[in-house]
Structure 1
Amino acid sequence: MGNLMHKRRLTPKEIQEAVSQQTHELHEMARSLSFWLNGVHYPSEGEYLEYVVRSYLRRRIPKRFEISTGFISTLGTSRPTSGALEVTRNVSRQFDILIWDADAFPPLFRADDFVVVVPESVRAVIEVTKCLDAAKAREDLRKFDDLYELYSPERQRFRPYTAILAFSSKRSMTSLLQMLERFYLFDSNVPIPLRYHAARIKGRDVRPLALPGFIDAVCVVDQG
């Protein structure tokens, strides 16, 4: 009986082309949308781009994960000197896409694709934009920066993957990286000692200290 397993060596070009097909699919969906809605109703186009990305992701991730839009929230308790138990609520800003583990963690609130979920359930947080400029990038970075307050030391092992996904940008990737550097050096809410510790070890082949406010990726579909 012969060997039923078929092996073939793949070239780097073949691998690149296979991966890029998925990017082309997403780009073509966005371009088709732009044709129909250009100059008609810009807010609807932005909302539909979020829907396009959510639909795209649903076809590619395990069923245990839900893809929604909404907020991340925590409840905390403390007992001050008065002795009365105090409960505090901490809520993030709204994110375009939350990928969360629906098997292990029920939502705090859900209405169709809109959810409020606990930090431990979230696996990825993505902001989607049609065209990424400096103002939009700073706005998104501030939203991610707030995650530092939600992921306390006991929750750091649940830190989600964070990303900005843009379909185009008026700025080069080099310019965007420089803007990221300036933001984390001067504008971030993460305590300064932690920021500089993360920057100091970033050049090594290890992941920086787990800082939920630090973004993992900025992807511009037509650039990289």
Structure 2
Amino acid sequence: MTDSHETRYEAVFWDIGGVLLDLGSVRAGHRAFVGALADEYDLDEATALETWRDELGTHFRERDGNVFRSARTGYERAIEGVVGHEVAEDDWLPAFERATREQLEPVSETVDTIHALDGRVHQGIVSDIDTWEAERLLAQFGVAAHLDAVTTSEEVGRTKPDGAMFATALEKAGIEPTQTLMIGDRYENDMVGASRAGIHTAAFGGSAADADPDDPVVDHRIRDPRDVLALVGVEKSE
């Protein structure tokens, strides 16, 4: 692991959850949506929220290894568990998008950094997310136009740390792995996965930041996403 800023990169890959998207706001969005469901169906809100979390958690735990499993399907399962019967997508999706839109917050320093790097390096998203959710988040946070590529698990059919995720992103970038930097918060998914693909890594929070100081799969550690500017050789604007 090195904290030197001598390395220069031609591509930066960003994770979404925990890096661009504040995870606390995700939980707040889900609470708001489940609260609206509880009101509509006259349910106890605390019980409804517990059921939502249990059903959604089970949905993802039942995933076969690194095979992609849709969050949309998980939401449908959780809604059915909460209200006791299937609910048509046309009836729940607009309410879900409205409730979460009002709650979801970006990591503002990441947004600033993506803007600052626009046109200076290739910027891509590499995230375990449904494509529709990625698209609406990137648009809502005002970064879609500043990114060169988006690679989602729905598109690839696999989740990180599967090498197919990083191979797809690298193919879109057309840049060598050693000239690429992955910013992530999950040790296994982001640090180990990217390192196996020959990509350099920067740990930002989460389990990635908890890695041992001399862990070889963590090349850089940052406390602020704006530190990425120095790693690629771009000065912060005052």
- Check whether TM > 0.5: no
Please identify the structure whose Cα radius of gyration is greater. Answer: 1
Greater relative CO, 1 or 2 (CA 8 Å, sep 6+): 2
